Amino acid sequence: MKSNLIFSGVVALIVSLSSIGIYAYHSNHHKVVKVEHIASTPSTAAVYTLNENGDPIPLDFNEPAKKVIDGVVHIKSTHLYSGNSRNFQFRNAPTPFRDFFGDNFQDFFRPNLPNNRSQTRPYTEKMPSRVGTGSGVIISEDGYIVTNNHVIAEADDIEVTLYDNRTYKARVIGTDPSTDLALLQIKETGLPIVPLVNSDDTNIGQWVLAVGNPMGLNSTVTAGIISAKGRNINILKDKYAVEDFIQTDAAINPGNSGGALVNLQGGLVGINTAIASTTGSFSGYGFAVPANIVNKVVEDLIEYGSVQRGVLGVMIRNVDSKIAKEKNLSVSKGVYVDSLMEGSAAGKAGLKIGDVILAVNEQTVNSSSALQGMIARYRPGETVKLKVNRAAKELVLEVVLHNRAGNLDLGSSDKPAIIKTLGVDLEELEPQMARDLDIKSGVLVKKIFAGKLRKYTQMRDGFVITKINGKSVSTVEDLIEKIEKSEGGIMLEGVYTDIPGTYYYAFGL
């Protein structure tokens, strides 16, 4: 019996060792893939953030994305090229112009060419175009849309496509190059909107979403945080540029321009405007115009037709440790007053060179861009309180803001019909500029919008009109009168402020 047990044990051992050897052999010669399936989630995790009351709430981008995405639109702007000649343009001149000047009208504009009709292209030729795309934000149920000025600049045709693919033609209500904002309107009611919030209440580190149409990808949502406020990146080339950007690391790419930067409640924090990149694509930094500036620009464009911007009349720079030491200042933050314009609003209120501006209406300002952004929210005639540090003492000054001309007047949106037809902003030429250009007088074309000049000529901003149909002009009123009395074609003669030579542009009424 004992021997049988021993024999059985030996056999079992041999079988076990053989099984192990066979398994090891197959393991070395055959790859085993093990697939596991999880039938259910054992637990649920959530990331929390704090609301305005300090209460913890789940961090969820789903709800704000749902609220906002219907209110962000795709914008296509088309600019029609009027010709290939840099200096002269006559091939698109309508029949009335040809009737006015006769069959040899082209000699007025290309005197070095023979009077040969074969030199010109057919008048019915389709003009080439340039198409740009961007985004916009619906801010009212009756069709008002905010976007960037650079999205629709020079556009002859603007097309807006909603999230549900409805398409409309849009008209420009007004533009503000100094903030790179523009206001459009489409003929529709009952539209979904994105409500504006107080952008001053936003904080660095706060979650935000960027909504727009980047790279031709419609209705794209990206997430990030506010990484800085009061940024000035020197991207706007307007003489009176206001750069007080909100910086975000939410991904923004070409096509996002004019789109929405929103908080987790679906409120509009800013209008996405620019990126900082060496490649032209997102590299970690995006910039948006704050909602408070957007709100002011929109109100002015609707009510006045142009932005009414109050000014202090000061030259300023940021305070840092170097300036503080050099000027013997008692503070190392704020905005240093370098100089005052003659008759400036700030000077009349008692501000002095060497003062350090610390706050506007009790809101702290630590940079020149932040100060510009704060003042840009007010109109001429409105009063702001400046908290100032002077010789280590603090005082408060009440400043009644001026306009750029140095008075309290508000601009008017009423433009003569002929100016609207031409599509231009004009101003009389300053005597010093006339002397520099070696001309007696003229009218400066500040900005060209959609109109006859853009459609039928290649005129660009900065052209000085010296003659209309051979007759000199000296004032805007004189120019309007001469054009209104003209019949048929109009020939404009003038010079550019930055290019030598005399230039001619023609169009028909």
Note the pLDDT of residue 224.
96
CA–CA distance, 212 with 74 (Å, rounded to integer): 8
Note the pLDDT of residue 104.
46
Burial 274-299 (b: 16+ CB within 10 A, else e): bbeeeeeebeebbbbbbbbbbbbbbe
Q: Hey, what CATH class is 417-508 in?
A: mainly beta
CA–CA distance, 24 with 8 (Å, rounded to integer): 24
**Does domain 62-92+127-307 fall into CATH 3.30.230.10?**
no
State which H helix or E strand residue 387 sits in. strand 383-390
Note the pLDDT of residue 138.
97
Q: Enumerate the domain spans of the chain.
A: 62-92+127-307, 314-400, 417-508
CA–CA distance, 61 with 72 (Å, rounded to integer): 16
Note the pLDDT of residue 128.
63
Of 117, 63, 417, 59, residue with least CA distance to 267: 63
Note the pLDDT of residue 94.
42
**Does domain 314-400 fall into CATH 2.30.42.10?**
yes
**Annotation marks residue 157 as catalytic:** no
**Annotation marks residue 180 as catalytic:** yes
Note the pLDDT of residue 47.
61
Note the pLDDT of residue 463.
94
| Sign (positive or negative) of CA dihedral 239, 377, 309, 417 | positive
Note the pLDDT of residue 424.
84
In the set 74, 77, 79, 150, the catalytic residue is 150
Intrachain domains 62-92+127-307 and 314-400 with the same fold: no
In the set 180, 249, 300, 355, the catalytic residue is 180
Note the pLDDT of residue 54.
76
Note the pLDDT of residue 123.
34
In the set 227, 257, 344, 368, the catalytic residue is 257
**Annotation marks residue 150 as catalytic:** yes
Note the pLDDT of residue 360.
96
Note the pLDDT of residue 117.
32
Q: In sequence order, what are the residues at sequence separation of 6 or more whose Cβ sits closer than 8 angstroms to the Cβ of residue 467?
A: 473, 492, 493, 494
CA–CA distance, 36 with 401 (Å, rounded to integer): 71
Mean pLDDT in order along the chain per 10 residues (509 residues) = 53 55 52 45 54 74 93 92 43 42 46 34 51 95 96 90 96 91 96 96 95 91 95 85 94 95 96 87 90 95 88 94 93 95 94 96 94 94 96 95 86 71 84 89 84 82 92 90 86 91 88
